[in-house]
Amino acid sequence: MTIIANRYEFVYLFDITNGNPNGDPDAGNLPRLDPETNLGLVTDVCLKRKIRNYVTLEKDNKPGHAIYMQEKAVLNLQNKLGYEALNLTPADKKLPKDPKDAEALTKWMCTNFFDIRAFGAVMSTGVNCGQVRGPIQLAFAKSIEPVMPMEVSITRMCVTNEKDAENSDRTMGRKHILPYGLYRAHGFISAKLAERTGFTEDDLELVWRSLTNMFEHDRSAARGEMAARKLIVFKHESALGNAPAHMLFDAVKVDRVTEGSELPARRFADYTVSIDKTKVANGVEVIDRI
């Protein structure tokens, strides 16, 4: 399998209608907001979680596509798998004394766990497998315009136990939604870091498929209508890159359509997305994946 040889950046646009894209547990699960601008936020961790979940669905833990950071995973037990595969004995919080064994251990973890290969991991817990810096990094997603969270009252018609059945009062609850929000995230993929983890062209195609399809398998009462709207990829000719990332991101503009712009946006068609090719440096190819 071929290790990627090109640097990439990408702009990812997704939206939500009448839902909560990423609740904040420190704020009663309200949608995350920048308090100074009221722009909505979605964390990089949230987006990586959805990529991991899609990879699990598509690959079903096939060799080379296990997920290291998964729900209820015990990381020391995950790390022990590497020691067992290489017939090594773990020492508390220390890597094997032989540098070749330590290198082989970290390489085994990269080869077998997709998310380590892609995002990196700190595996220096009680059972130490080293640290890996992954080739893929994501920034927080931010909404194009300020969003207005709404609190909606809900009722529960059933009860938990028999004694509560005699009470005619119904349990009241609250849920927090955004009527609409279009979010923009930036991503970075380093070919040089891919060399260290073994991140391949096949892995890269899997990431593109994940970003395209991950919301289709993440439906819930809070996220019933989320959709990937645009995935604009900048492919550099070289491994080190042909232009600064921020200059490429500046070439992508998301604007409100003129007609009806005085009203709050409620659909993707209320925006236009354009790419100023004059701001894209020579040696960088623009690929519209969605």
For residue 245, what pLDDT is reported? 95
pLDDT band at residue 27 using 50, 70 and 90 as cut-offs: confident
Please give the model's pTM, rounded to 2 decimal places: 0.90
Q: Is 87 left (phi over 0), alpha (psi -120 to 50) or beta?
A: left
Residue of higher predicted confidence among 141 and 217: 141
| pLDDT tens digits, one per residue of 123-149 | 988 898 989 999 999 999 999 999 988
pLDDT band at residue 1 using 50, 70 and 90 as cut-offs: confident
Q: Is the pLDDT of residue 160 over 90?
A: no
| pLDDT tens digits, one per residue of 228-264 | 999 999 999 999 999 999 999 999 999 999 776 788 8
Give the span between the Cα atoms of 113 and 123, in whole angstroms.
12
How many Cβ atoms from other residues are within 10 Å of residue 147's Cβ? 25
Q: Is the pLDDT of residue 71 over 90?
A: no
Residue 136: CB partners within 8 Å, gap ≥ 6? 118, 119, 187, 188, 189, 199, 207
For residue 147, what pLDDT is reported? 93
Contact of 31 with 24, CB cutoff 8 Å: yes
Q: Is 72 left (phi over 0), alpha (psi -120 to 50) or beta?
A: left
Share of the chain above pLDDT 90, in %: 67
Q: Is the pLDDT of residue 3 over 90?
A: yes
For residue 164, what pLDDT is reported? 65
Average model confidence (pLDDT) for the chain? 90
Q: Return the SS3 of 215.
A: helix
Mean pLDDT for the stretch of residues 76-90:
90
Q: Return the SS3 of 200.
A: strand
The two tokens of residue 146 are 């300020």
pLDDT band at residue 151 using 50, 70 and 90 as cut-offs: confident
